[in-house]
Amino acid sequence: MSRRSGATVVAAVVAVVGVAGTALAEGSWTGEEFPGRPDMASYVTTVSSGGGQTWAFGSYSPPGSPTSITAQGFHREESGRWVEVPLPDIGDVVSSAVTGPDNAWVVSRFSKVSSGGTLHWDGRAWTEVPLEVPDAPRVSPSDVAAVGPDVWAIGSAYRDGEDPISRSFAVRWVDGGWQGVPLPPGTDEQNFASIGGAAPDDLWMAGTTVGRPQQLVSMHWDGAQWSHVPVPPLDTAESDYLTVHDVAAFRPDDVWLSATQTPYDTPEASQPVLMHWNGAEWSRQEAPAQVRKLGKLVQAGGALWNLGPDALLRYDGTGWQQVDGPQEGALTNGAELPDGRLVGTGSGGDSYEPQPFAVVQNR
């Protein structure tokens, strides 16, 4: 779909919700001015809001097969205009967290063209902050989240050479730096992709097993320690791969895990995997629409949203419903603005040189 900027208002289609995937009227969408980057492939991969501040982060690279990936960041002004703010180049940005004007965090993963790293905003400038994992110098964060006053980062760290190791880690922000928190045995055989929760003493991590066939895994933090919590097994083939998009708590006894199961040889046969925690156990739930892939979870306007490439879904505490999204395209990242509205970003324009767009849901 075409990319639009400025204050373009997009009318949503009014319909009645049903399990078959008919859409729920949720107002209209207003496009916001967002910086482009001509002659580059530009992406936004994370949006965060907190303490009255909203940021978006991502990366850009030469079109085609990139030989480099450069980090980029954007701050949203009260007018709805997004302004680019220079960042130290930590490569392929994957997640962010914001708690106020003087505190924001960004993390990037390790890859062939990106070195994993973390940044902190103190209200004046972005600075790189070391994240060290014992005996594993190659660090690849996968998520960072702020829950109450606590900020956590999770991911994997590696040591190459004759005695290689792979290690999962969780760190907490303490006195201006990252402090490691012990994980229970067995976590080095698991890759954790997302962290979130209802309170500082009620957090969840979600990921997958390293070994195949892959399965979903989860851990819970009770304020003192992390512990494994079983997730129902999936019927996965040896070559299937699982992508964990997010874990988020609507309430302490109403937690959701969003994932996608993809056959290696037939990616068009992907299936949504939606898990629910009811306070006692995880169970698999059916998606409310004919979608192949799910996406990130965002709380906004008293609801929980799933921002997937196939559909925009909304949970009100009783059930999931499909919602009409903006005509600019699918929303892949989002956050709750200070006034409670959902702000979302996606990619539009030429698939060879995609450019980000931003929209806000009207009340």
Classified by CATH at the fold level, domain 86-323 comes out as: Neuraminidase (2.120.10)
Among 244, 152, 245, 154, CA closest to 199? 152
Give the phi and the psi of residue 272 in degrees, each rounded to 5: -75, 145
The residues, any chain, with a CB within 8 Å of residue 131's CB and separated by 6 or more, are 116, 117, 118, 139, 141, 153, 171, 178
Collect all residues with Cβ–Cβ distance below 8 Å to 280 and sequence separation of at least 6.
none
pLDDT, tens digit (0-9, with 9 covering 90-100), for 314-341 = 999 999 999 999 999 999 999 999 999 9
For the segment 298-319, what is each residue's pLDDT rounded down to a tens digit? 999 999 999 999 999 999 999 9
Q: Does 243 have pLDDT greater than 60?
A: yes
Domain ranges within the chain, ordered by starting residue:
86-323
What is the amino acid identity at position 143? D
> Residue 216 corresponds to which amino acid?
L
C-alpha distances in Å from residue 89, one per residue of 56, 344, 346:
15, 24, 22
Local confidence band at 10 (pLDDT 50, 70, 90 cut-offs):
very low
Taking the C-alpha atoms of residue 126 and residue 116, their distance in angstroms, rounded to an integer, is: 16
Place of tokens 């006195």: 175
